[in-house]
Every structure is written in C-alpha cells, then in structure tokens.
Amino acid sequence: MTISAQPQAALAPQAFKSDYKPVWCPGCGDYSVLSSLTKAFALLELQPERIAVVSGIGCSSRIPAYTTCYGFHGVHGRALAAATGLKLARPELTVIAAGGDGDGYSIGGNHFLHACRRNVDMTYVVMDNHVYGMTKGQPSPTTEPDWDSKLSPGGTGMRAFNPLVIALAAGANFIARAFAGDPNTTAALIAEAISAPGFSFVEVLSPCVTFRPEQRDWKQMVRAAPVQWTDDAARAARRLMTDDGMNIGVLYKGSRAAYRTHVAKTSKRPADLEEEFRI
C-alpha cells in the first residue's frame, strides 16, 4: 500500500472490511465488534493505509485479517508490545491493539499494565467474553469464580480480574466499556477512544455463544452508565470498583500527555549497532 499525502474522500465502513469472511461461530459478539471498528474508522474519516490493527492470539485476535488496514496477528499476549513499538516507530499511523481477555489480561497482563503506564497514543480494544474461546472454554482472568464447567469443576473460586480498575490504577488515559450487541454505541466509543490522546482502553463485552451461551442474556443486563464520565481518578476508581460491570459508556477521561520518545535522532546506522554488539 502506498500512503498518499493527498486528501482522500471519506470511506464507508464497508471499505475497511477485507474479503476474508470471518470464521467466528454464528452469534459470536466479535462480528459486531468488527462492524463497530469499521464504523469508527469511517466516522473519523480515516483511510485504511493510515491504520494498523495489531493482535495476539485467540478468536477475537483474528480481527486484523478481516480489515483492509495494515495488520499484525502476532504472538499470544504480545499485541500491546508490538503495537507500542509500531506506534513509536510510525507515530503518523492510527494504531489499534485488539484481542481477548485471555490474551490481554492473562498471558499479556504485564504488557497491559505497562501499556497503561506508558500512555503511548493508541487504542486497545478488548473483546471480553470471560473465557478462552479459541482453546475450547477454559476460564480466563475475568471468569466469574463460580463458573462451573468440566474444565473448572465448581468454578475456579478465584476473584475475577477487574480490567477497568487496573487500567485506571496503571495510568490509562481513557477508559470505556462497550457492549457488542450495540454496534453503533460501540463504534462511537471506539471513535472517541481513538481521538483521545494517550492510551485509550475500550473493554467490549462480547458474548461467546459457544462456551458461554448464557452471555446472550447480556443484552438484557447492560445499561447506559447512569452518570457522565469523570476526569477525577479517585471518583472514577470508586465508580469502577462498585459498578456491576454492566454500565456502558465512557467512564474516565484523563489529561496526561501521551508519551513521546525523547531520544534525539541518532547518527548511527543499524550496521553500527550490530558492530557494537559483536561478540
């Protein structure tokens, strides 16, 4: 793809969808998240060659292939590491990291903390279905402690991870919760997240109809957040600690400036560095 400096006509969401047809289970919430993502790109009048979608591994992490943007379907849990490097090397690109709760909070949990802390200007979309969908239904960090299955008889008994509180404590600059069953609101939230400076985190409740069929009921359980977002981290923390995980909307917007590299341009070429490291 070549990047044109000319202003280009606004594209329809469909222009951001590739010819690859998703292989997600019929009914999976991730179809809707794909639709929201492409709607958000169209809303912001972006061009596919100015966007990179970076993921790890999981059903949800297949998402880059279904877009016409640059994509990187990387290593399990490492979407944020790859996305951070990419954004710092190519700051002109709109960088989206995307994946699941297993990818982002389990194996990728450490990267999640530091991505929030670093506050690099990018957007992280997590399709949270409280389960490892791709590997056939193991509990994830966001699984309820009493979720009973053959793989976790009687439930794990472990307290569920609260990604929004963790993101806030670690320094994310924009925090929102969305619901896959509401693609238009989700598109608007993703668009707002992309427009916000720094590290934006959008947790999307995205039902896994195969391993968590009861999540079809989420559409009766979610509600618009009863209060406006706050820029007061202490107030946001109290709200996020006490909500039941079903409030939809922007929940926190901070004012930290996005991280930028301060390193002056080096005169060294990669070959010089190789020379320095030669054993």
Ligand X SMILES: Cc1ncc(C[n+]2csc(CCOP(=O)(O)OP(=O)(O)O)c2C)c(N)n1
Interface ranges with ligand SF4 (CB under 6 A): 24-25, 28, 30, 59, 129, 133-134, 208-211
Q: How far apart are CA 20 and CA 22, in angstroms?
A: 6
Residue with tokens 């292939």: 65
Rounded to a whole number of angstroms, the minimum distance from the CB of residue 200 to other proteins is: 21
Containing H/E element for 204? strand 199-205
What mask of x and - would describe binding to ligand X in positions 192 to 231, judged by CB under 6 A? ----------------x-----------------------
Picking from 196, 164, 167, 173, the residue whose alpha carbon sits closest to that of residue 254 is 173
Choose which of 68, 84, 86, 103 interacts with ligand X (CB under 6 A).
103
Containing H/E element for 139? none
Please tell me whether residue 135 binds ligand X under the rule CB under 6 A. yes
Q: Where are the beta strands (DSSP E) in 36-163?
A: 51-55, 70-73, 94-100, 122-128
105 and 170 Cβ atoms separated by less than 8 Å: no
Containing H/E element for 156? none
What mask of x and - would describe binding to Mg ion in positions 78 to 117, judged by CB under 5 A? ----------------------xxx---------------
Please tell me whether residue 132 binds ligand X under the rule CB under 6 A. yes
97 and 72 Cβ atoms separated by less than 8 Å: no
Contacts (CB under 8 A) with other proteins, residues 69-128 = none
Interacting residue ranges for ligand X, rule: CB under 6 A: 57-60, 76, 99-103, 107, 127, 129, 131-135, 140, 208
Interacting residue ranges for other proteins, rule: CB under 8 A: 14, 21-29, 31-32, 35, 59, 133-134, 136-137, 144, 146-151, 155, 179-185, 188, 207, 209-214, 216-217, 219-224, 248
